[in-house]
Amino acid sequence: MTGVFIAASAATDAPPRFRRVVELDRPSTEVVSATLRWSAEGIVEASIGGTPASDQLLVPGWTAYERRLRYAEADVASLLSDRFVLGLQLADGWYLGRLGWRGQSRIYGDRGAVFASLRITYRDGHTQTVETDETWEWSEGPIRSADLYDGQTVDATLADDWSSPDGANGAQAIIVSQRDLEPYLAPPVRRIQTIAPQRVWTSPSGETLVDFGQNLVGFVRLRVRGPRSDAIVVRHAEVLERGELATRPLRSARATDRYVLSGDDDVFEPTLTFHGFRYAGITGWPASAPPLEESVEAVVIGSDMRRIGRFSCSDPLLSRLHENVVWSMRGNFIDVPTDCPQRDERLGWTGDIAAFADTASFLFDTHDFLSDWLRDVAIEQDLAGGRIPHVVPDILKYDPAYGGLPATDTAIWGDAAVWVPWTVWRAYGDPDVLQRQFASMTAHAERIAGLLSPTGLWDTGFQFGDWLDPAAPPEDPSAARADPGVVATACAYRTLSTVARAAEVLGEHSERFTHLAERVRGAFRAHYVSEGIVRSDCVTVYALALAFDLLTDADRGRAGGRLAELVAESGYRISTGFAGTPFVLDALADTGHSDVAFRLLMQTESPSWLHPVTLGATTIWERWDSLLSDGTVNPGEMTSFNHYALGAVADFLHRRIAGIAPLTPGYREISIAPLIGGGLTWAEGSLDSPFGTIRVRWELDGDAVRLDADIPPGCTAVIRLPGSEAVRVGSGRHAVTGTAPAQ
């Protein structure tokens, strides 16, 4: 559809609001349906007579605005009266507000604009349409500022009767553009839940602190009555340091909301921004108001994806780790799969989702969310001349220095264009995503082919490599032990072979990509492998070589042994970054070293997955040591406490410990083969597959292991337990017994 966008006719100091008084052509009792569509260059909230038109937040979300802008849609028939105000509140959002870590703003345009179209159908078949045009009026209102990084300011003393048909008049709006619009494919952002304070106290500096007990993404809702014109300030932080809010990790993001009281009962809910926080610092709370703990709550927001996968086990730390992964995914899936939700960044880094897509697509139904984002991947790829940008949507292209990074093709980050659609296909069995993305996938594969050295290796150019290897110094997260050429070449093989398989699924020619993949695998073996030893001889290179099937059978056994040795030499502590972490446990288990895999997984000393849990973490950290053992924050500039990438380990919990994996895309045929060990006495997992819910629970009973499995209608499963033959079963409930391995 095409929409007419209107804007304020003059520069404004505050986010403008727009309205149109609507008189129905027939009495409201004659209305059969009323559909409102709305969008913005910015973010916009629509209302009917002052009542929100929908529970959707941050409309129209963030896309490659240059070519793609979405609209929201809602049934508003129940809100109509014979005469009412259709209102639109604009804010900067991603279109105009600050984005990135280099102080950029107004990246996509110089001013915001709004669109709305209300179509009303009456009982007699008559239709009435109201759309944005020059008959609308605008003014400033109580919302004085709203920025995603810096927060929102509301002055309730400026509240007026703007939402009343007979209310205050504004200036005439102007038409600024017409744009093609498309509906949301991804689920909208909504309020997900509320969390009450767990503790309220006073910090050493005198600030009132509130602990919500969970690192989350959203905002603080206040209900308060106090003296007119008094101000309340709310600051946000993920952790405390020396008893105060630790705001240094926010970098330049102020993450501060300010409210000026009306003198009456006020409810403040800053829905035109969001913050990543566990703790809030509140100043200016009226002495006459009820206690804070009775008047504030945290509102969790996120893209409204359905939760489909669950896991728990006998070890409470491991179960908590899994919940931390869930919370980090929820907080970073706010319209775009971002790296972090709190500091001056919050970008759709392609490397993060490349590492995490398998985990994400088990935990939540990400089919529509990721399919929507992949549309922007293809758009940004085209705008970049075929290269997959480091972030999507790509704001770095508007920075002359490209964020201080080389604007080049990179392994893992660029490979998201191939790995993510393949994951969606495997998880949900829908080939349409492969069909839609196939041109993007093959274009990336051809870019890799053109970057290979005459040797067949991808060993030149900038690479992120094994980003955030724990051995890297805080100031240089790319200084990993793994040779970047080894990492890139291994990833090139995985990408090329995946494109070949996608071509086969779609009935396309796969020979070129099969040939390229085999060339790269041969080069990897010839130049990087000698008698099972992989160049740079560190955990990540073995994990990739084994997980991606790059080695001969003879070298595979030796490499698996060497990997196990290196993990043991590290004291069973993590020594991998973004590249190796998703694959190291599988590489160990698949080469007969599941005992080593479990010791690595269950390690509680730093660096490890469980060490942050022992320190009270409720989300996944960006660094293995984002918080040091002495309670101080890692001195590195990049120190987020809500980064999902290293939580890719949850995929191992689902597939290997619970044992649920697809034998065919979409889980019509299921593998149930739990890995028993690590001192666990039971584990259970479930997945709402496209065919129904798969449930698995196993537990030890002396020397035996008993497994119960529920298989959905129309599906079959192959169940494998230690000490017993594999059995193929149909739908229904099944009980299988095997012999417990020695632990």
Residue with tokens 């007026």: 160
CA atoms within 13 A on the CB side of 524: 32
Beta-strand runs (E) in 76-173: 83-91, 113-122, 127-131, 137-140, 143-147, 151-155, 171-172
Q: In whole angstroms, what is the distance from residue 80 CA to residue 65 CA?
A: 32
Contact residues for 733 (Cβ-Cβ < 8 A; gap 6+): 708, 709, 710, 711
Burial 82-115 (b: 16+ CB within 10 A, else e): eebbbbbbbbbbbbbbbbbbeebeebbeebbbbb
Catalytic residue among 622, 637, 669, 725: 622
Which residues are CB-neighbours of 223 under 8 A, at least 6 positions away?
265, 266, 267, 295, 296
For residues 547, 552, 558 and 559, what is the CA-based torsion angle, rounded to 10 degrees? -30
Catalytic: 345?
yes
| 3-class secondary-structure state, position 213 | strand
CB within 8 A of 125, min separation 6: which ones?
Answer: none
Alpha helices by DSSP H, listed for 333-461, are: 350-363, 367-383, 416-428, 432-451
Q: Are 173 and 137 in contact (CB under 8 A)?
A: yes
**Contact in structure between 200 and 212 (CB atoms under 8 Å):** no
Give yes or no for a contact between 343 and 251, defined as CB atoms under 8 angstroms apart.
Answer: yes
Residue 45 known to be catalytic: no
Print burial letters for 157-176: b (CB count within 10 Å at least 16), e (below 16). Answer: eeeeebbeeeeeebeebbeb
Q: How many C-beta neighbours within 10 Å does residue 734 have?
A: 17
Neighbour tally for 140: CB within 10 Å: 16
Distance CA 427, CA 88 (A): 39
The residues, any chain, with a CB within 8 Å of residue 247's CB and separated by 6 or more, are 235, 237, 255
Which of these is catalytic: 73, 137, 345, 380? 345
Q: Which H helix or E strand runs over 498?
A: helix 484-506
Distance CA 323, CA 264 (A): 40
CA–CA separation, 536 vs 522, rounded Å? Answer: 18
State the Rg of the chain over Cα. Answer: 27
In the sheet with 137-140, reading across from the earlier edge strand, the strands are 51-52, 43-48, 83-91, 16-23, 137-140, 171-172
Which residues, other chains included, contact 480 with Cβ-Cβ below 8 Å and sequence gap of 6+?
465, 466, 467, 469, 471, 472, 540, 577, 579
Cα separations in angstroms, 67 against 97, 180, 377, 408, 565: 19, 9, 12, 22, 51
Which sequence positions are flagged as catalytic?
A: 345, 622
